[in-house]
Amino acid sequence: MLHSIDFMITQNNLVFKLISPKETYPVRHAILRAGKPLSSCKFDGDDLKTTLHIGAYQNGNLVGVATLLEAKNSAILDVNAYQLRGMAIHQDQQGKGLGKKIINYAETILQEKHVLLLWMNARESAIPFYTNCGYTKSGRIFDIEKVGPHVVMFKKLK
Ligand SMILES: CC(C)(COP(=O)(O)OP(=O)(O)OC[C@H]1O[C@@H](n2cnc3c(N)ncnc32)[C@H](O)[C@@H]1OP(=O)(O)O)[C@@H](O)C(=O)NCCC(=O)NCCS
């Protein structure tokens, strides 16, 4: 396995790297904003210098994306923290371990930056995935308009 902060190659022609905000749109649109205008794929904070966008490529094709936004969550822990946003794996590639590998890559990058906490507003349907990746629920389920029920989940990074 070859790894630097902005590039990682694993087995099976799978490459993880940092990409631009717009490069995330094909997967964001298909998986997270299906049927909505492409403009709905732009998230607040996408263009900040501190925001990181991860792309997973299988044989050169974009199969998964995730975004890391610098954002404290003092309700959990008042430390240097990032929020995971826009986590999505292409439909026909789900359930093959790719999501977990993206999370591992994200955690590695953040640990190298001395970030102490990663948290997310997890869709209810994705709670078992994040639990499997070592994340803990915090607080009650709440509704995000037009998207559905979510819960805050987090992991302390060492
Ligand atoms: C949620 C999502 C990112 C997970 O990625 P994925 O590549 O499908 O998940 P993985 O194959 O890496 O799963 C990792 C582990 O979590 C488990 N897992 C994943 N989803 C699960 C579920 N719904 N129930 C139980 N376990 C689950 C897997 O079995 C696997 O376990 P293992 O490591 O013991 O084999 C992906 O399915 C997706 O894009 N879903 C639609 C969009 C979405 O919900 N995004 C999250 C928004 S908060």
The per-residue pLDDT for 4 is 62
Q: How many domains does the chain have?
A: 1
The whole-number pLDDT of residue 10 equals 73
Kindly report the pTM of this predicted structure.
0.95
**Contact between residue 53 and residue 21 where contact means Cβ atoms under 8 Å apart:** yes
- Tens digits of pLDDT across the chain (158 residues): 556 666 677 767 899 999 999 999 999 999 999 999 999 999 999 999 999 999 999 999 999 999 999 999 989 999 999 999 999 999 999 999 999 999 999 999 999 999 999 999 999 999 999 999 999 999 999 999 888 999 999 999 98
Ligand 1: which residue has its CA nearest to atom 36?
89
pLDDT, position 107: 97
Helix (H, G, I), strand (E, B) or coil at 152: strand
- For 6, the 3-state DSSP assignment is coil
* 25-30 contact pairs (CB < 8 A, 24+): 26/62, 27/62, 27/63, 27/64, 27/65, 27/88, 27/89, 27/90, 28/65, 28/86, 28/88, 30/88, 30/90, 30/91
| Ramachandran region, residue 139 (left: φ > 0; alpha: ψ -120 to 50; beta: rest) | left
**pLDDT on residue 1:** 55
Q: Candidates 28, 104, 129: which one to mutate for ligand 1, based on the most atoms within 8 Å of Cβ?
A: 129
Pocket of ligand 1 (CB under 6 A): 31, 87-89, 94-100, 122-123, 125-126, 128-129, 132
Helix residue spans in 58-143 (DSSP H)? 98-112, 127-132
For residue 105, give the CATH number of its domain: 3.40.630.30
Cα(97) to centroid(ligand 1), Å: 7
96 C-alpha to center of ligand 1: Å?
A: 8
Ligand 1 atom with the shortest distance to the CA of 121: 48
Instruction: Provide the domain limits for residue 149.
Output: 2-156
